[in-house]
Amino acid sequence: MIMKVKFLISILLIFLSYSLANAQDENVVYNDTLTQKLFQIKKDYSKRIFESTYYTIQIYFGDFKNADSILIDFQENYEGIKSELIFETPNYKVRIGEYKDVNIASQKLEGIRKRYPGSFILKLSEL
């Protein structure tokens, strides 16, 4: 008997939590202007973050001489892919491509790693 009561209570709790979770999915209507303004600011900020965030592939970091030769080698072998040499103390870095989708960056990385095995993906933001 006690097992049946525990089972019924468990079923009831699961049902209530499910219905409460679904109730939160309804569209929210904001009636006051301050809340509307704050919500719009948050929406605009999130959009800016999304639009300024991208993925790139770093194929080298280290001294200038090696970074420069790897950049030249990459540009000769992979035409049409953006490449740049960046200095961040104390290293020079060779980064290639700008991808909005991490899956596309991963696909490119597979081919790049054959020639540059130490390559990896970075998530960058212009903000």
Provide the 8-state DSSP code for 116: -
pLDDT tens sequence across 74-99: 999 998 899 999 999 899 999 999 99
Q: Is position 22 within any domain?
A: no
Q: Is position 38 within any domain?
A: no
Sign of the CA dihedral running 111, 115, 118, 122? negative
Sign of the CA dihedral running 112, 116, 117, 123? negative
Q: What is the pLDDT along the chain (127 residues), one digit of tens a residue?
A: 676 777 777 777 777 666 665 555 456 666 678 888 888 888 888 888 777 789 999 999 999 999 999 999 999 999 889 999 999 989 999 999 999 899 999 999 999 999 999 999 999 876 5
Q: Is position 49 within any domain?
A: no
Q: Is position 102 within any domain?
A: yes
Q: Is position 121 within any domain?
A: yes
- Helix or strand or coil: residue 63? coil
Q: Is position 33 within any domain?
A: no
Q: In this structure, what CATH number is given to the domain that contains residue 96?
A: 3.30.70.1070
Q: Tell me the pTM.
A: 0.62
Number of domain units in the chain: 1
Provide the 8-state DSSP code for 96: E
